[in-house]
Structure 1
Amino acid sequence: MAKRSAPEVNAGSMADIAFLLLIFFLVTTTIETDAGLNRKLPPIEDQPEDPPPLKKKNIFQVLINQNNDILVEDEPMEIGNIRQAAIDFIDNGGQDCDYCQGKGDPASSDNPIKAVVSLQHVRETEYATYIAVQNELVAAYNTLRNREAQRLFGENFTTMEANFNDGGYEGNKESLEEKITQIREMYPLKLSEAEPKERE
């Protein structure tokens, strides 16, 4: 009986198929990116050699130790109370602030422009605690900015910023930018994040 030869498989198009699959997976795959903190560095400006001294009463100190205990102005405090404490400090209205609604405590900040919030931690502080405290401090500024934007312009400051950054916004962007700048000048975000300390 005669041997039959096995038919050859035409593999000429295999390379094309592999190439198309490769392109398909490259196009359809999503790559996870870490969402970082939304922070912009201030523009470089010519600074005087000796910066003006800060009065201690204009500094709101927040410290986090290795046990994730929070000290605000050397007093223990829970995370849930930090926002209001920061608002009371920033919006104190001690001097030259006709829009402040604080009590005018002489031991607290002079006004929002001079107020500085200082956040410091030790190296063993948990990251989640540090971020939670930082979020509360930023939220204090956002609360004050929203309040003033609502009072002056009848709009929420957060919404104004979102509209300004939205490419499809059809309103007057120049006018919106002026409003945002005005609110930021009233309540400048002065959050100083100091170098971590060694364990206490």
Structure 2
Amino acid sequence: MFKKQDRRQDNHVNAGSMADIAFLLLIFFLVTTTILVDTGIQARLPVWVENMPPKNIPERNVLKIKINAQNELFVENGRAEPTQLRSRAKDFIMNPGALPTRPGSPRKAVISLQHDRGTSYQAYLEVYNELIGAYQELWEEEAQRRYQLSYEGLPVSRQQLIRAAIPLVISEAEPVDLMAGE
């Protein structure tokens, strides 16, 4: 009348299927995970030349910018705010008033950037970005003046002409120990 229940068999998990599932999960996470890439300042460095004598650049052609350990910005030995830097750099490079204390041509303009060893990377990047932004605005203005087109919309050959007229020259001096009031 009553049937004896069969004892349950031990269930075996197929290890091959588990390996397949693990592999699929691994692929899923590799495909969907965003891996952060370290980024930094992209700059093309000049070719290293042994025993190259230093160039004598007239003082009027050099805009001196310093950042001290307290992240204070100094332009031509006067304190300045990073928000002022872009317009001051543009005025220096282009010299719209033809001042004798500034470069006679944008080709002769050099921006000298020096920072303290204690300067924060964020402060350095803020200043560097303002300087690059100044050049980008000048290139855009020149493209509009010459071709009535956006700089980015120009063919590479015309972009090179503009960059030759207004070359990006930022000289970065070796970090030093600047004093707070310098």
Q: Pick 1 or 2: higher relative contact order, CA cutoff 8 A, min separation 6.
A: 2
Identity across aligned pairs (percent)?
A: 41
CA-CA distance at 1:26 after TM superposition: 2.2
Structure 1 position 136 matched with structure 2 position 130? yes
Q: Match for 2:41 among 29, 33, 37? A: 37
CA-CA distance at 1:22 after TM superposition: 2.0
Structure 1 position 160 matched with structure 2 position 163? no
Structure 1 alignment gaps of length 5 or more = 93-101, 162-175
> SS at the partner of 1:60?
strand
| Distance verdict in 2 for CA 1:37–1:107, change over 3 Å | same
Amino acid at match of 2:21: I
Alignment-derived partner of residue 82 in structure 1: 85
Alignment-derived partner of residue 186 in structure 1: 165
The CA deviation string for residues 97-156 of structure 1, in whole angstroms up to 9 with x for no partner, is xxxxx1111011121111100111111112222111111111111111111100111112
Question: Using the alignment, how far apart are the partners of 1:18 and 1:45 within structure 2?
Answer: 51
Higher CA-based Rg: 2
Q: Match for 1:115 among 85, 106, 109? A: 109
TM-score, length-normalised on structure 2?
Answer: 0.85
Q: Match for 1:150 among 144, 147, 159? A: 144
TM-score, length-normalised on structure 1?
Answer: 0.78
Structure 1 position 177 matched with structure 2 position 177? no
Aligned residues: 175
Answer whether contact 1:160 1:180 (CA < 8 A) is retained: no
Alignment-derived partner of residue 165 in structure 1: none
Amino acid at match of 1:131: L
Amino acid at match of 2:143: A
